[in-house]
Amino acid sequence: MATEALKLDNVKKNFAGTEIIRGLNLSVTKNERHAVIGPNGAGKSTAYNLITGRYQVSSGRVFLNGEDITNLEPYEVKRKGLSRSFQITNIFPKMSVFENVRCSLLWAMGYKYSFWKMVGNQTALNEDAEKIIEELNLKDRRNTLAGVLSYAEQRALEIGITIAGGSEVILLDEPTAGMSVSETEYIVGLIRKVTEGKTLLVVEHDMGVVFDLADRISVLVYGEIIATGTPTEVKENQAVQEAYLGAAMEEH
């Protein structure tokens, strides 16, 4: 139990009577890199939204490090140490790269709703923000408004916002979607670097990235996990071949 960073226990979700997630069981071991794959519309993003409190689950439980986090508000989930990125870039467009990162650090560093401390004077906060920007390779874009960054840079910032504050469990939603080969390499390298020693759950369509990055893979089809295992096991699984992987692998 203790080694399970994230556990979904028979989670279900109905939208207007239609069952989108039909009993999801998933367990992510501490410090592993776990990928979720599956065809479009399988419910991968919905599963993320259920875990992080963006949607309310219809039934079932979600556990973070053994603690029940079912139906908590997104900010409560984040405070418990789970952080996520989004499939569609979700940053603070009218703020500089630096401010984006610094804001993402505030709660984790204990500032809460303080209106009596000046952020400019908080040495540790500012140093941490600079460090993350350096890790993201965005140093020369430090003062640029996030909204005018290139797509790949925005995706990098998206990951930066997600990992800032040192959450133990990181959920990434299609981090390399829409990227060129070299951009994908940059992002995968970045993910590897910043999730060192953390638990990573990643939804990804690029099978090259998935098999390269993941320790274990779960296959989600029509709201259910049909298989979980190491990349080799999943590749050889007959059900997976039929449902998804055959078609997906041919593309590559």
Partner 1 sequence: MQKSVFSSALPWIFAAAILIVLPFIFTGGGSITIMNQIGITIVLAMSYNMLLGQGGMLSFGHAVYMGIGGFVAVHVMNIVENEYLWLPLPFLPLVGGLVGLGFATIVGSFSTRKAGTVFAMISLGIGELIAACCIIITVFFGGEEGISGDRTMAPSTFGIEFISQKEVYFLIAFWVLLSIFVMYLFTQTPVGKMANAVRDNPERAEFVGYSQRWVRYVSFCGAGFFAGVAGALFAINYEILTEQNLNTVMSFQVLLATYIGGVGFFLGPVFGAVLFTILQTVIGLQTDLWALYTGIVFVLMVMFLPTGLTGLFAMHLIPLQLGRLGMLIKPYAKIFVPGLAFVVGSIALIELINHVRHHGEEQFMTLFWIEFDTTSFLPWALFLIMLGVGFYVSRVFAKEVAEAWGEATFVEGERR
Pairwise CA distance, residues 68 & 164, whole Å: 23
- Nearest Cα to Cα of residue 162 among 122, 123, 140, 135: 135
> Of the candidates 23, 61, 71, 103, which one interacts with partner 1 according to CB under 8 A?
103
Beta strands, E only, the chain: 4-15, 18-29, 33-37, 59-64, 67-68, 82-84, 169-173, 199-203, 216-221, 224-229
- Of 52 and 218, the one with the shorter C-beta distance to partner 1 is 52
> Of the candidates 27, 70, 104, 218, which one interacts with partner 1 according to CB under 8 A?
104
**179: part of which helix (H) or strand (E)?**
none
Asked whether position 252 contacts partner 1 by CB under 8 A, the answer is no
- The residues pairing with 202 across neighbouring beta strands, listed in sequence order, are 35, 172
Asked whether position 139 contacts partner 1 by CB under 8 A, the answer is no
Start-to-end CA span in the chain (Å): 37
- Of 43 and 53, the one with the shorter C-beta distance to partner 1 is 53
> Of the candidates 126, 142, 177, 183, which one interacts with partner 1 according to CB under 8 A?
126
The mark string for 54-73 relative to partner 1 (x by CB under 8 A, - otherwise) is x------------------x
> Of the candidates 13, 33, 44, 78, which one interacts with partner 1 according to CB under 8 A?
78
- Alpha helices (H) along 164-241: 181-194, 207-213, 231-236, 238-240
Residues making contact with partner 1 (CB under 8 A): 52, 54, 73-75, 78-79, 83-84, 86, 90-95, 99, 102-104, 106-108, 111-121, 126, 148, 161, 164-165
